Structures are given as structure tokens and as C-alpha cells.
Structure 1
Amino acid sequence: MPLFPPVTDTLRWGDLVEQGRSQLPLVAPGWTDQNTSDPGIALLELLAWLVEVDSYRSSAISDRERRLLLSLTGFAPAGPRSARALVRLTSSRTRVPAGLVATGVRSDGTVPLTLRDDVVVRGLSVEAVAHATGAAAEDDYRTGCHDLSREHGAGRPVQPFGDDPTIGTCLLVGLTAAGTVAAGSIDLWCVVAPGPWVPEAPGPRDVHHSVRTTWETWDGSAWVAVAEADTDDRTAAMTRSGRVRLVVPALPRTTLGDQDAGALAGRALAWLRCRIVSGRHDAPPSLAALHADVGEVAAAGPFAMDVVVPPGTPVTGSPLPAGPLDVATLALVCARDGTVEEVRFADPDDWPGLPAVDVVAFRAPTAALPGRLVVGAAVLGVALGVPDEVLRLPQPWCDAPPRLWAVPPGGVPVPVNVVADLAVAGAQDNAAVLEADGVTVRFGDGRCGATLPPGSTVLVSGTWTTTTGIGEVRPPLDVRLAEDARTVALLSTDAAGTRMDLVGSLLPGAPGEDVAATAARVDAALWVHDRLTGLADKHRVSSLDDLALEVVRRAGVPERAVTALDFERRVLATPGTSLWRTRALPDVDPRLPGLVADGCLTVAVVPWLPVDRPEPTRELLARVRADLASVRTLGTRVFVVGPSYVRVGVTATVVVLPGGGVEAVLDAARDAVDRFLHPVTGGPAGRGWPFGRPVRRSEVLQLLDQVPGVDRVEGLVLRRERADGTAEECGDLTICATELVLAGSITLTPASAGGR
């Protein structure tokens, strides 16, 4: 059933009359007088008129009414979102403050770029990247170290901790510098490569749920740990894109490891490393890029104004120092021609509900000389005080809705709340609504929202962007620092020596949602349970575990978990986790194997790691368990467990074709069995061995027979290998619903095909 009723007003009155006339020979063959004068025809035409009127009325639903209907579901159209990108900073100063605004110019238009956080500029660049095992340093990096510099320089993704990270595994980073890097802060930026190993939803914090890392510096003879208080790592152990800021001692340019046979021989650089000290990743992290001296920018700029304050204008209060720029809550009274008549500054706590704005520059007027005011706010206009008053923003807003407030002459400024629709505002509420064009602001009419006080000055603060800014900002882009008061205030005399260059895109922007897009989002959320069931029926499976992970991730995530499919989808989307598989088993209690446990549900989860035996950590199980506890239905008892493994030994005689290398064929056969009997790469579909699926002797026989160079297989025996070292021979090997298989000992005896 669609969210909105179908459009029925598709036929005109004449069409309806014609359809009615066409039915007369079928329903009333004796009716021969069909002139307009006939009373029956008059009734038919009247009925057609009534049908047309009803169809018109049922279809005459405005977008405003549709938005109100959507608000009942808790959804509202998403506003425009500006793009995010990374820029490299070059400056004569060591720290470029946040809030610096530049303009990007390219053929399809311009885009504002605002630095979201301060950036430490040390003139560094990443020259070498490698990963090493915990024992590699003891061997002077002759073994256990893999140089990733070529892949990183070519822009290919690299695994910073290898494909099977363990405690002690580390990422090595070599930085180029003109000489010794002086003690102080340095900035690195890690960009995670997209893929199924990335958590579908970010975790609640910048800290990984299991892994803890430490950063260390190389002083030429030993690794020195960077204190935890001097480390600001926002990457959650390299599982999300973010900045790493370290306060380091002086870093000499020196070599690392053996200079004859070491993996990093001949490189005199400033060295850092990130080492895993505890915990385990769910999946091996992958980085698309690693940068130094870069920062994140938003493709948006702040609303701002630079106005002249006439001589003699009364000024009350003063801005408060707050870093590079002063801040204050601002009350500005203007005449209808834009002339400033009064300026008032106040502490943000004095006028609650009003935003604190940046005061970029302020020079108070005197009796004879004008003053100047440059602030991060803009004047929309002077209100007439009429119902449904409309004012326009200077540019289209983006990201968070803009903040509005009105300043009556001689009165106290009042905040104006931005609402989804004025219908939710009372007659005394100061409210406004943002129209879909992104620049029009509509105020109340006295019944739904109060009218603005006549003569009040309406101000706005927030961010704006352009059409280019809601796309994807990527090179090439000519970035130019704005030559304005904000740049001078933030950089002082270093403005001429500061340069900003675009490195690459971080996150594309998006235009504001229209009603149709919001309705589609609501429809997907409301029917997510049915669509999960439909997805399983379409592929003729009973569990999402039988589908590819990329197919499952394209399905919606239910707000509540009711069915087994709901639980599986919620588990795979647990914030901050990277799971490869999950299986929900209704009426199963892991403490009571083989019995039907009404009201219980067991969820088995399988991460990617460790490669040889994937198992969840206690922290991962706790994270999944906490998420499911908040969405389960009352009365359902949920158990979250890791898989139980059954080791399967294989013994067989492999007859090798003449001319084939015996050892090569046997190695290929062992690898085939290892991959087939694996919880991540195994199974008939290659997506992991299915939960509870028996191991059939005929399938293993077929697998070995398909290995190139194998003529035939004789004497195949499967064994269930126990932890105590004993084994039980069997034909087909049956396993339980929460069990998976792993390849045990594989004994393949070669034989020649010559005697056949």
C-alpha cells in the first residue's frame, strides 16, 4: 500500500460521460433515446460531474499537507548537506585556525570552503608506509615487515596492519622534512578505503570497541611512546576516516632497521608508528590515503556582513575574547534603508536562545567618525509586521537550519524558532518556516505563529553554499583564500604566506529532500520488515546469512527486531562493528542444545578475524548484545554468541596425471580444502560455510577431483577432530545449528596414474 493515496483525477467530465454512454448497450439495451433531453442522460451527466468533483478533491493534496502527513511518522525532509573535502595547508605559521574561508573556482561555478578544525602545518609529507609484525623490530625489519609505499604513492588502498592484525602489529609512517622535526604537534589524516570491512554505521565514539593502539616515535635507537595525553586519535584504530594529532619530541631524520637487507633500507626519514596494544579488529582495516599537514573543509561558508556604523550610533557592551575571533550575542537595529541605528553586544548567557556569533572586526563610531562592524551574521530585513511576512536569505542555507532572531527597536531581542510547518506553532510563538527553494523564510500569520513586531530587525546566522557545494568537491579546483576581514583576523600578517590546495573528496554533499524523496525514505522504513521477507523469498533463502553481504547492506535496517531476519539485519548494522556473517536461530537457547526454547532467540556472529579461526571478542559481543537489547520485543530473550567450530580432517589418496608436478598438485589440493572448509571463504557459494550444513563426502571428493592435475581420488575419509587430539571417522559429517567447520589435518598421499 502506498504512503500517499493514488491520483484519481485523471479523467475529465466529458470522458466520464462518454464512458457511461458506452456501457448503456450492455446494461440497458432497450434504452434508445440517448439525447441530452432524456432524463436518464441528465442523471448520467450529473453523476459524472459528482465523480469528477470527488476525484479532484481527493487528489488536491498540497505538498504542505503531504509534509504534515510525513511529520506524523517522525520524518521530515532532510536539508541540503554540503560536501566535505581535504585540503593541504602551506603557511608561514605553524597552526592555521578553524573558520578560515576560501573560494574554490572551476568551470561549473564557485564554492565556499571553510576549514572545520585548526590544522598544524609543519611542512611534512608522508614518504613511506609499511606494516610490521610485533617481532619485526627485533629482527631489524628484515622479516615481518611489508613496504606499502609504492601502493600508497599510486593511490591504491593499503592495509595498515596487514590482513590479520594481532597484538603488536604496527603501522610504520616515514615523514619527509628538511631536517630534524622540531618538538611540537603534528597532524596526520587517515582516509578509510570504502568496502565491506568498513562499519555500516559509525560507532558512538572515536574509540574502537575492542582495539587500543599507541603511537610511538623513533629517536634513532629506540621507539619512544607518545603519552596518552598528547595523543588525539579520531580514527577508532584506523576503522574510520579522521585526524590524528600527536605532540612529539624532536624527530631526527634517520634510517630504520637493517640497511642491507631490511625492508626499509636506505630511507632517512622521521619515523612514527601506530602499534596495537590490546584487543582485536573485526575486519582488517584498509586506508585509501594517509596525509600530513591537511585539514577537513566543508563546502559552505558562514552568513556574514560588513556594515558601516554611522557616527554617533549608540553602542552597548563589547565582544568577548574567545580565541582568534571575539564572540557575542548581537542585537542590531537598522532602518528600512539598511542604516545601522543601534548596536548592542551581550554575553551569550544574558540572552538565552540567541546564538553567539563571531565578531570578526569592530570599530566603535565616534561623534565625528563612523565605525565598522564585521560579524558572522546577516540582516534579512526590517519587518513590516504583517501576517505571512516573507523575507529572503542572502544565499541558500545548508547543513543545520539557520538561526533567526528579531530585534525590536528599544526592546529585547527574541529568538525565532525554525519549524517544519507553521501549523505546529501557536499564536504567541515566534516561528518561521524555510521554504523548499532554500532562501525564502515565511513567518507566522497571528494564528499559526506570531507576526513579527513592526520595525524589528531580523538577523540570521548559519552556513550557506552553492550548487557546486552540494555535489562532490574533487580536484582540479583552484582554491583562493578570501581577501576579507576574516582572513586578516585569523592569519594576521601571515595571510600572504598561506596557501590552501585541494587534496581530494571526503564526502559528497546532497541537495535538500523534496516530498517524494522523503516519502520514499518513510516508505522504506515503514515496510522494511516486509521487504526483508521479500528479499529472502526472492532468493529462496530462509536467512540473510545465505545472501552476499553487499546485497544485505542495500536493504533497510529495521527500527525494531521482531523476526529472525530483523535480528540478522540489525546485527550486521551494529554501529562501529564490521561483521561478515550472522545467523538468528529462533527457539534456541545455547545452554539447552537440542531442546525447543520458547521465547528465546540465539544470534551467532562471525567477524572476519582471526583469519584461521574467526571469533568475536567479548567487546564485540557486548556491543551487539546492547544494541539488540534496545530493539527486541518484550518477552524475547536474546543470546549473542560466537560460532562453535568443528575441525574436519581429510585423508585421501590423490592420483596425479602424468607430467604434473606432484608437490604443486598436492599443495593446490590442500589449499582448495582449506578454502572450502572455512567460515569466511568456504562453502559451495564461497561466502563461508553455512551454519549447521553437513560436510558431505561427495562434495569434498568433487572438489579434489576438480583440482588441475588430479586424475582421480581414492580412499577419501572425513574425520571429526576433537580438542583432546582424538578423531572420529565418518562418512557425511553432521554439525549443529550454531556450528561451523574448519579444515583440520589434511593428509593427501600421491599416487601415479600410470597403473590405471
Structure 2
Amino acid sequence: MAITPPRLDDRRFDDLVEDLLARIPAHTPEWTNPRLGDPGRTMVELFAWLGDALLYRANLVPERQRLVFQQLLGAPMKGALPARGIVQLAYAQPPTELAVQSLQPGATLSGAAPFETLAETSVLPIVAEAYIKRALDDGERARMADVVAGLARIHRVNGAAEPYETHRVFDADRAEPNGIDVFASSIDRVLWLALLAPTAARPTEQAATNDAVRNALGGASGTPTLLSLGIVPTISTPELFDELETPAPLPVLWELATRGTGTFGTEYLTLDPLPDSNTTGGLTRAGTLRLPLPGSDRLWVPPNDVLANPSAGVGDTPPRIDDADRAGRLVGWLRLRPRPGAQVEHLALSWIGANAVEVDQRVTLRGSVLGSSTGAADQSFSLPQGSVDADTLVIEVEEPGQGYRTWSRVEDLATIDANPNVAREAAAFELDAAAGTLRFGDGIRGRIPDRQMRVRLAFGRFGGGVAGNLPPQSLTGISATRVEGGRSSPLKVQQPLAMQGGVDAKTMAQAEARIPALLRHRDRAVTPLDYQRLAFEVPGIAMGRVEVMPRFKPRDRRFEVPGVVSVMVLPEQPMTTAQVPNPRPDRPFLERTHSHLAARSPLASELYVIGCDYIPLGLAVGVVLRDGFGRDAVLLEVRQALKRLLWPLPPGGADGKGWRLGRHVRERELEVEVSRVAGVREVSGLNLFGKGVSESGPAWTLLPRNQPDGTRSLELARWQLPELLGVIVVDGDTPVPTSLAALPNPFAKANQVAVPVVPELC
């Protein structure tokens, strides 16, 4: 029999009023009309209201006991996690004075959810644009062979000339989700950042504006100016059976162009990022870094005018910019390249920009009095909000004659110290981060705050939840304070990427649902069910499906290997009407899951966390429609039914849990699913296609009839799932296509031929 939380009394206000009115004839029969507004009726309702309040408080007792049981079981309520991301700052209007503003952490951003900056940052009066020297393809080389030969003679190039095109990446501060390999796409494996001054009010004032910007970047009083850069490497989906290892930092150099020997000679000054400010992990994850800039006399750019500088853009010099406006605003060149001798040929980036800072979805509260001590044991105080970041919390308690003193946080007051004298005098408190409550000691396990002494929240950061997972360009404004004090100049925010990682706090029902699993696995992974349940509890990610394959070694594709456990994980992804690929975990997703499970796995086990090996599948279906049903609607529903059946996540699959791992895709099963669609009278045929290899590359091939009944099927190994990549549905007497390319485009006209044209540029 299930145990449900009891309610001490389930009566409410209306019930109490009806009960009292029903007793009137027995106790006061002379009161024949207890109507509304009658003084006696008013007394009855007042009594019912007081009784309802008392019953409400009495019914809170089981609720509080449920929370206590959660704590005793070591399964406290989990608080919300904040979304995080990177934003770029810029002046909202042309500054009256070209100066550098250093901003304190904790600046608040305006948007649909509260965000704050996580570190100090500097806003420089510049714009940074990223460029590469893009190598020409074979067709461009052939077409421009004579031009390149002429340029080699003009520039007096000794050896083979390597033509390039100055190509701007991340145009208009937009991120590239698929990434750009800035090293492999360039001829010199260098990413160039052009530092541009603001546009002057009049063209004749641009030179003076540039000089003012250089002076600002050069720093004052011997303190170098810090350039804050935000970098977002492309998070690629790893190969299926890659082993998870912590990525090694990329050996790269940051260099600033400076004046060299001769009139137009260029040399480079190496800049080392401040260690405490570099959160990119050596360009392996999204983060920021700060580069100290040299004095203004070291900032230099070679002229872009080929008439004045024939070597502009040649050799190891910065790329030539032919845009006269941008070339006139250049105040410096910064470049990123591999260290000499390092075998670094690839660097895929989704975004890079200056004046960047990391933000998260929390708010900072400080200087709030929580209450005064009564001198009793086990006192509790409520924080202003729940879901507090425990690492940032600072609680102060007033001491007689000494003012406020900071008390320390402990996980459990009962385990402060084995020495009773130390435990008795410990100035400590216990925190329930999700509920936002503090609990102090009882004089034996932790001190009791002295009577009438105040308890104060000195500092703490609160917040989190899925509401912070905002799309790009959702955050627009910022309110910041300078390091030296005072409000900053008006600033605007550029948010090139979405905020990610926000998770809502767990509800009581969700916490209680975890108790049976917790009692079974006790936060240790032993059985396959333990691994599965623990994988669904990985914080900060949306897990869609987990499959545990004991004794399966992925790299060898071999089962029955002792001591090996492989966990296949898929992220949560809704099944939409659009043709989208099946869900695939990226490297951070796999790394976070692996670290969570590895800490709970037996010491002798060999753990692998992998994605899924998808096998491409194409389908061609012929149906006969019933009368009275719309053709397009039925054909669309046939596609959706097949997609829903083969989808790897719920509600896909025959049982609504996603297509079963290793289950073959059989023609007869697909026909049954199509025949269930309303409006389909008959399935006239169904062909299955797999991806084969032809002379021109991968191509769809019709699968053979390899079943005893003469039907087709897609055979899958025990670690594989199908991925439906193409569906053709025809109706009526149209024969079922034997090729996925056989169906013509219904929107194309038979008497027209598409011809590409080259646009004219002025």
C-alpha cells in the first residue's frame, strides 16, 4: 500500500461554515433565518476563518516533515542553476572623451531575466574586427594567374607568390554556430584582429581621433591598459567512440604589431594573457582573457595605401584592407598564431570579440538584516531569495561590543568537529541553498547567536532557472559602476550567442521521486539501472535518453569485456515538423556526464560515455488515399508518423520510449505504421534505402530483399540506431520511387533552366 503524506484536517472555510450552520437547529432552534449579513452569521464566518487559518498551519506539519526526511536521507532539494554566456560591450553613443573605462564585477544587464557580469572588465574606445588571409581555390588561382604573376614582379617577391584575399570573419558581430577554422582557412595560420578607432565627426578629424585612441590604449601612470577578449571555440560533436580526455591547451601566441626597422618594417611584440583572467582553458572552451597593452608609442600600423607602401599586406605584414574608411581608422593590429614548432593546424571558432565579459543569470544582494537572535537553540533564518550560490554567501552575526563578525558555513552542524569543545564554540551555520534558509547550532553542535544580536546577509548571489536560456541579442542594456567609483558612461550590449545552462530548481514532487532511486543506488553506480538514473541527474544538462551497455568496449566494437561499462547518452531535443538531424551530444555534454558518473563508479571499472552510432535511412512510400481526406495533409502525416516511429527519444518508437537500440528496421513494421494514418486506405509499396559509396561519393542505394518473406530491412548492430534522413511519399497510381532523387521538384517549371549569374559590384 502506498504511503501518502497525511492531512491532519482537510476542511476549509466553506466546510466549516456549512458545518456550523447545520448545527443551528439542534442548539438554537429559535434562530430560523441565518442569512448573509446577520450578526450571528458574521460571528459564524469569523469563527470559520480563524479555524481555517489554524488548520492550514496544522497541515504544514507533514510538509515540514517531508523536508526533514529529505535532509535525513541526504537528498536535499536541488536549487536552480544559472544560465551563462558572453556579451560584448560598446559605447551607446560617441564618447565625449576617448578614455578607457574599467568596470566592477556585478554590473546588471537588462533583459527578460536578470544577469550580472562575473569579472572586472575594461571598455576600450575601439572596435575589433577579425580577418584572415583566405587562400584562393584552384579556380581562382587559374583565373588570376596573370594578375598574381604581375603582383609578384611589382612586390619583388623572391620565390613562389601565395595569393590571398583579405576576408573578414564573424561579420557584423554575428556568431557562426558551425564555426570557422581560422587557421586551416588562411595561408599563414594566423587570425588577425584589426583595432579600429571610432568614426570621427568630420573626415579631417580622423587622424586626431586615432591619436587620442592610441593615447588611451597606452595607459596612464605606468599602468597598462587591459584588452578584454571574448573567445568561443566551436563545440563540435566528437566521433562516436572517441575517448573523453581533457583537451590540452592550444600552444598559441598573442602578438601586437609594432614598428620595426626601415620605413615600413613591421615587428611583433608578444602579449601574455593575465593568468587569473584567462577562463578559456587554452582556447578549449568559451571564456574571456585580458591582454596588457604596451605604451602608445608601441602601437603602430603599416600604411595600407600601396602607392605609399608598396609592401602593404605582403609577406608577414598584416593583411591589406582596401576599405578606405576602415583603413583610415586603424590604430593597431593584434594577431593569434600557433607557437613556433607547435603542430597546430586547426582552430575552429564560433566568435571572437573585444570588450567582452562573462555573465550569468544571478543577482547580488548585500547588507540585508535577516532577523535578531532569540537565544534559543536551532534557530532558522530565511534569506531574501532561494537558490543561492553557496560559494558566494557571506553571513555575519553581531557580537556584543564587537560589531558584526563573519560566521562560516558547514555542510552539517552535527559533524563540525570531533572535539566537543571545538564544536561547542564553532561560529558556524548550516545552509539549505534551494530553500534559502540558515540554521544555527544548539550550543553543543555550533554556537547559538547571543540574544537580541542581529544576523545579516553581507553578500550573496541568487537566481537561476530555464528562464535565463535566452536567444542571441536578448540582452541589450547594462548598468555598471567604474572601478574608481561612479557610474559608467552609457553602454550598450551585443549578445552574439545564446545564454545556456539554466536549470529550474527541483520541486518537492521531483525530489520525492528521486528517493526510491537514491535508496537503491545510494549515489553509487553498480548496476545498469544505477548508471541510468545517475546519468539523468547530471546537473546543468537536459538529458533525453540513456542506454547502459555493460561489458561493451566502444573502440573495439566488442561485448563481453570484463570491467567495462559504456553509457550512451542523447540530449533532449523536440521532434519538430522540420527535417532535423537526430540528437547528438557535443563534447561538453559528454564530459559533464562522464565526470558525474566517474566519481560514482567502482574504482576498478572502465567507464565510457559515448554518443550514438546512427545509420542513415531513406524511405519511399506509396499510398492510396481515402475519399474525403486532403492529399497534402495525409502525405505530411505519413512523413510525421514514420519520423515519430524512428525517432530515438520519447515519444518515438513503438513503445513511446524511442526506437530501441539495435532493433532492425523492417519493411512490414513501417507499412503497419503508415496504414494507421487516418486517410490512408492502402499502402501500395515501400522501399528502404541505405547510404552506400559510389564513384562520386556517398549515395543512396536501394536495400536488397534479404528477409525470408522477400521484404527489405535495415540491419543494425546492438549499439546502433536508425536516422531517417529522407522520405518521399507518393499517392494514387504513381509508382513507388526506386531512388530518392527520382521525384521532381513540384515548384520547378519544365521550360526553365536555372543559370547562376555574377552580381555586378559598384
User: Structure 1 length as normaliser, TM-score?
Assistant: 0.47
